[in-house]
Amino acid sequence: MKKVLFALVAAACTWMAPANAALVVTGLVDGPLSGGTPKAVELYSTTASADLAGYTLEYYFNANATPSVTVDFSGVSIGAGEFIYITPNAAEFNTFFGFAPTITGGGSINGDDSVVLNLNGSIVDTFGTPGTDGTGEAWEYLDGWAYRNDDTGPGAFNIAEWTFSGPNALDGEATNAGATTPFPIGTYQITAVPEPSSVACLTLLGCGAVYRRVRRKKVA
């Protein structure tokens, strides 16, 4: 019983560390400008950091099970409650959204691609299903967008935690501000605490404490 209990505690606390990392993937957009631009990923930071070294964002194109492109966050600083925008199309991003991206680089997502956020080699957050072509899937965002619901994530991909524009929602639009179904840029927020993984860990630790007290009482 003791070994099983503390194995569960270790598992819960191990997952809590990456799940409580500072960054969360909050949005992906497949834009309507020339060449289907801008292609961009939005991330939110829960804490301030002078250097996001250790974070990487992997792009999985089509049905590839291995990353096609990886972005390194070394040297990027961020304030608590601020957003990061990554795009390979800086000029088009500025035209469509009206401000410059944080990082110029990354992959040209096409509405059927997945991304995975890592911290020091451990998975923090995932959108989509790497190894699966998203075309025709419920999480497809072709010529549109996907946006994370407030108070969700990070963690394994759960489609219930996301809102979608539907394919082709941005077709023909010149700017996000003027779009009929605009990408809800910079609107994600966290209002609820604690994280579910923290609760699980604390609950198991509490059970461990009770177990130890009961066992000592029986021995006495």
* Same-domain pairing of 155 and 70: yes
Are 126 and 156 spatial neighbours (Cβ–Cβ below 8 Å)? Answer: yes
Q: Per-residue DSSP letters for 72-129?
A: E-TT--B-TT-EEEEES-HHHHHHHHSS--SEE-S----SS-EEEEEETTEEEEEES-
What percent of the chain lies above the pLDDT cut of 90?
76
What average pLDDT does this structure show over 75-86? 97
* Same-domain pairing of 120 and 214: no
* Same-domain pairing of 10 and 113: no
pLDDT of res. 193: 58
Q: Containing H/E element for 68?
A: none
Q: How many domains does the chain have?
A: 2
Q: What is the mean pLDDT of the chain?
A: 84
Range of the domain at 31: 24-192
What average pLDDT does this structure show over 106-128? 96
What average pLDDT does this structure show over 44-57? 96
116 pLDDT more than 90: yes
List the one residue out of 81, 101, 120, 124 whose CA is nearest residue 41. 101
Q: What is the pLDDT of residues 174-219, one digit of tens each?
A: 999 999 999 999 999 998 754 444 444 433 334 344 334 334 444 4
pTM of this prediction? 0.80
Count of H-run helices and E-run strands, the chain: 3, 10
Q: 97-101, 115-119, 156-160, 209-213: lowest mean pLDDT where?
A: 209-213
Whole-number Å distance between alpha carbons of 48 and 22: 8
* Same-domain pairing of 70 and 126: yes
* Same-domain pairing of 142 and 107: yes
List the one residue out of 123, 131, 125, 134 whose CA is nearest residue 41. 125
Are 57 and 119 spatial neighbours (Cβ–Cβ below 8 Å)? Answer: no
Instruction: Enumerate residues 6+ apart whose C-beta is below 8 A from 25.
Output: 41, 42, 43, 57, 115, 117, 125, 126, 127, 148, 153, 154
* Same-domain pairing of 29 and 16: no
